[in-house]
Amino acid sequence: MTPDETPEMSLENLTQNYQEILTNLGENPEREGLKGTPLRAAKAMQFLCRGYDQSLEEIVNGALFDSTNDEMVIVKDIELYSLCEHHLLPFIGKAHVAYIPTGKVIGLSKVARIVDMFARRLQIQENLTRQIADALLSVTNAKGVAVVIEAKHMCMMMRGVEKQNSSMHSSVMLGAFRDSVNTRQEFLQLIARSS
């Protein structure tokens, strides 16, 4: 298996793995409160990692439309839920995504679906930000793409340093957003405004 390949998620194997985790924690998977938990946990993990079963082509599904607009398009406050690849704990936040079209615009819901596809894989926030930006650029051939993600990480809040009020911000600026201070500044000012 190459590094880019992921094994198919088998519900049966995942269920068995959760059964073993409970047993190794000293729990009895047969007690009333835990009966069925291994299967429920396996189904939840499949759902949380469903991005592995999706592709960019499938998500976009041809939803690119001719447009003479060459001004910034922003989709702000896209909720995202992901799992940290280091501890398998959630990080939760929002993404702000912008692009400058060059003859084509993408269907509005597709931007959120692209965010979800990459978020629903084991991730670190820095890579997630880059994957969203690269994907949108490749699909739209935009003059520039910008992505900012702000998220709270349970691996930092529930364990380790246990800092409840910290959040992480990451950004990727491509094309015109990297090259032009004014374009970048306009984007950052627009996403800073209250909804």
Q: How far is CA 128 from CA 52, 85, 132, in A?
A: 13, 11, 6
Q: How far is CA 7 from CA 10, 26, 49, 52, 68, in A?
A: 9, 29, 12, 9, 43
The neighbour count for residue 105, using CB atoms within 10 Å, is: 19
Catalytic residue among 84, 96, 123, 131: 84
Q: Is 85 assigned a catalytic role?
A: yes
Q: Is 84 assigned a catalytic role?
A: yes
Catalytic residue among 19, 49, 123, 125: 125
Catalytic residue among 27, 87, 150, 186: 87
Q: Is 87 assigned a catalytic role?
A: yes
Catalytic residue among 20, 30, 86, 169: 86
> Contact 83/48 with Cβ under 8 angstroms?
yes
Handedness of CA 54, 57, 58, 59 (dihedral sign): positive
Q: Is 153 assigned a catalytic role?
A: yes
For residue 125, the surrounding DSSP H or E stretch is: helix 125-140
Provide the CA 38 distance to its chain's centre, in angstroms.
25
Q: Is 86 assigned a catalytic role?
A: yes
Catalytic residue among 85, 126, 169, 185: 85
DSSP 90: E
Q: Is 49 assigned a catalytic role?
A: no
Please list the active-site residues. Answer: 84-87, 125, 153, 155
